[in-house]
Chains A and B, each alone.
Chain A
Amino acid sequence: MTPGVPQVGPPRMTTLELRARVDERNATFDLELDGGDVLAVLGPNGAGKSTLLSLIAGLLTPDHGRIKLGDSVVTDTEAGIFVPPHARGVAMLSQQALLFPHMTVTANVAYGPRRQGRSRSAARNMARQWLDAVGAGHLADRRPGELSGGQAQRIAIARALAIEPSLLLLDEPMAALDVAAAPSVRRLLRDLLHTDQRTAVIVTHDLLDALAIANKVIVVEGGRIIESGTLRSVLAAPRSDFAARMAGMNLLTGVVGQPGAIRTSWGGTIFGTGGPAPGNSAVAMFSPAAVSVHLEPPHASPRNVLRTTIAELQVHGTAVRVCGTAHPDGGPALFADVTAAAVADLGLIPGQEVYFAIKAMEVRIHPALSAAGPTDRRRVSTRRKNTP
């Protein structure tokens, strides 16, 4: 579908500069977007992704910080500037469509234009155009209660875009949709964002969203941006648990002790290839398929043997993913992909203690973004101005 996007004014491609700290949620963010950038914010639940959006939208004031949209400073704690949400021109779309239940679909979409001072009929016309643009023209006279989840979300998109936002914030817009509705809404968002070169920030759990819509990505964990860059660069060399799990890789962080080996935060040593000079922070990455599972510690060639307890077994076709538990002394959960036959032969069951063995040749060591101390491996600052 190529939506005929209503041309009301020139498309606004706003830059975003944000540096903010929220003490209560122990969150610190620092990021910059160019005009037309679509940034995907990835990360586990409770990582602070929605906090980031609330800060930009003006629904939350930071304890310290400065947020600049285009040429205007919308939040500056030092200068005492705070532009309220209704004056920011930032539209927000969340998991639920949140269409006003007491208004028709058209009145919902016309709400923003009306607030911008357009006449009743002008706002109505704009609403019709946007409804057509999202393929929901035939729903114009319905009430929100009579719509499916996918229809409601399309209309919410039309409502958000009808104010010609300088920045569009999307908070997991596909998460509450059923499998049938999500792909078409995703496609719609991609078309609307790309044809118009809009600046947008999309929070998501789903790698697919990021792949389809975003050109940049940050990974947020524990209230910090722990990775940033293009999607390709983050997935090709993930430096966080989260990104690695997304890319399906095992990941161990630490400091390089001797060349080609890192000492992990919990005191183990992982041997691999590559990596920075001794003393630097680094991550060791290996594929779950490179991990073999043993009931007794193997004494043959593999350099890396890690004891773990099986948390669960996931069946993927003929392969079985053996998920270890996170170690109490700080070691992250690791995964091994083995054949179903191997699981049967070894008699693997959850709760069992096993040994994961990985050949050093299979472990690639990457430099970490910056100083990640062994005690605080998550606090990796990521102010990177020149994202490739």
Chain B
Amino acid sequence: MRPGLRADRRVAPGLPAWIYLPALAGTALVVIPLAAILLRIDWAHFIPLISSEASRAALLLSVKTATASTALCVLLGVPMALILARGTFPGLRLVRSLVLLPLVLPPVVGGIALLYAFGRYGLLGRYLEAFDIRIAFTTTAVVLAQTFVSLPFLVVSFEGALRSSGNQYESVAATLGGRPSTVLRTVTLPLVLPGLLSGAVLAFARSLGEFGATLTFAGSLQGVTRTLPLEIYLQRETDPEAAIALSLLLILVAAAIVIASASRRLAGPVRQSR
């Protein structure tokens, strides 16, 4: 059977045979490192390795902060996405580009930027200091750093869902007497709920893996700001076996997230029956 001919006998004219080669290389690039880590794991000591006090503290902190930052992303990102998808005001495109900037910004740079905004002598930090509020190098800083890098993921994915669902239902609801807030609650949000969920899952995953911005803005204090990725990086120097075991833990969490949201394609358009 030729590669272009699929098992169900449909011909894919846009799929030349040679394209399987680079695609295979790409798949290998993703799969081989994962396999390598699995092969290096000291299975006998796996449980003790991931249940050391430092590891448990890091895991707990990661789950707590990622949950908090996901909640913050939903709280702030949903209104942002709604305005980007439905709003009409001059400069909308500029605002969108600015909001999505953290998506392409190196996280370390984001961390430095946050430091100069919320640090002790930062743009806002110096006024917060007057009220005895210090954000940098606290757990709050971890949540802020994670929110900073994750927010665009939620906004982009939710905006896409809103755009593909269109505003026809909203127009109908309005002509039936629905005020804007009522339409949002009874029609818009229920219809794009799957899009919101996959956006939140993406944001959670990104928060869980956050490293650069957290290290720069929040530091690495066990139990306070040292999240799982930071712990892994630190352990790598002293106890490589523990670092590998913790890495597997993160891989498992990531795999669970991908599988859980595989039924609704991540960030893909929301499909719905008429």
Give the interface segment out of A83-91, A191-199, A329-337.
A83-91
Chain B residues near A89 (CB-CB < 8 A): 177
Per the 8 Å Cβ criterion, residues 126-169 of B in contact with A are: 168-169
Chain B residues near A99 (CB-CB < 8 A): 274
Q: Name the residue on A nearest B172 (C-beta).
A: A98
Q: Is A77 an interface residue (CB 8 A)?
A: no
Chain B residues near A145 (CB-CB < 8 A): 273-274
* Contact, CB under 8 Å: A92 / B274: no
CA gap between A9 and B183 in the complex, in Å: 26
CA gap between A110 and B224 in the complex, in Å: 52
* Contact, CB under 8 Å: A85 / B171: yes
* Contact, CB under 8 Å: B176 / A101: no
* Contact, CB under 8 Å: A86 / B274: no
Q: Is B254 an interface residue (CB 8 A)?
A: no
* Contact, CB under 8 Å: A101 / B274: yes
CA gap between A101 and B272 in the complex, in Å: 8
Q: Interface size for chain B: under 10, 10 to 19, 20 to 34, or 35 or more residues?
A: 20 to 34
Q: Is B248 an interface residue (CB 8 A)?
A: no
CA gap between A67 and B203 in the complex, in Å: 47
Chain B residues near A101 (CB-CB < 8 A): 191, 272-274
Per the 8 Å Cβ criterion, residues 81-121 of A in contact with B are: 84-92, 94, 96-102, 111-112, 115-116
* Contact, CB under 8 Å: A111 / B178: yes
CA gap between A101 and B168 in the complex, in Å: 12
Q: Per DSSP, are chain B's interface residues mostly helix, strand or loop, or mixed? A: helix
CA gap between A160 and B168 in the complex, in Å: 15
In this complex, how many residues of chain A approach chain B with their Cβ under 8 Å: the count is 31
CA gap between A152 and B173 in the complex, in Å: 16
CA gap between A102 and B186 in the complex, in Å: 10
Q: How many A-B residue pairs have CB under 8 A?
A: 72
Q: Name the residue on B nearest A97 (C-beta).
A: B274
* Contact, CB under 8 Å: A91 / B175: yes
Max chain A Cβ within 10 angstroms of own Cβ: one of B174, B175, B272: B175
* Contact, CB under 8 Å: A86 / B190: no
CA gap between A352 and B222 in the complex, in Å: 87
* Contact, CB under 8 Å: B273 / A85: no
**One of A57, A59, A86, A160 near B178 (C-beta < 8 A):** A86
Q: Is A36 an interface residue (CB 8 A)?
A: no
State the Cβ distance, A120 to closest chain B Cβ, in Å: 13
Q: Is A378 an interface residue (CB 8 A)?
A: no
* Contact, CB under 8 Å: A100 / B177: no
State the Cβ distance, B91 to closest chain A Cβ, in Å: 19
* Contact, CB under 8 Å: A86 / B174: yes
* Contact, CB under 8 Å: B173 / A111: yes
Per the 8 Å Cβ criterion, residues 143-180 of A in contact with B are: 144-145, 152, 159-160, 163, 169
Q: Is B187 an interface residue (CB 8 A)?
A: yes
CA gap between A72 and B190 in the complex, in Å: 34
Q: Is B51 an interface residue (CB 8 A)?
A: no
* Contact, CB under 8 Å: B175 / A96: no
* Contact, CB under 8 Å: B274 / A57: no
* Contact, CB under 8 Å: B191 / A102: yes
* Contact, CB under 8 Å: A96 / B168: yes
**One of A58, A59, A91, A94 near B176 (C-beta < 8 A):** A91
Q: Is B52 an interface residue (CB 8 A)?
A: no
Q: Is B179 an interface residue (CB 8 A)?
A: yes
State the Cβ distance, B180 to closest chain A Cβ, in Å: 8
Q: Name the residue on A nearest B186 (C-beta).
A: A111
> With A144-B273, A144-B274 as given contacts, are A98 and B169 in contact (CB-CB < 8 Å)?
yes
State the Cβ distance, B184 to closest chain A Cβ, in Å: 12
> With A85-B171, A102-B191 as given contacts, are A152 and B176 in contact (CB-CB < 8 Å)?
no
Q: Name the residue on B nearest A92 (C-beta).
A: B175
18 additional A-B residue pairs with CB within 8 Å, beyond A91-B176, A101-B272, A111-B176: A59-B174, A59-B175, A85-B171, A85-B175, A86-B175, A86-B177, A91-B175, A92-B171, A96-B274, A98-B172, A100-B191, A101-B191, A101-B273, A111-B186, A145-B273, A160-B175, A160-B176, A163-B176
Complex A-B: 10 CB contacts under 8 Å: A86-B180, A87-B177, A98-B169, A101-B274, A111-B173, A115-B179, A115-B182, A160-B175, A163-B176, A169-B175
> Which 8 residue pairs are nearest across A and B when measured between Cβ atoms?
A115-B177, A145-B273, A112-B176, A85-B174, A92-B175, A102-B190, A86-B174, A98-B172
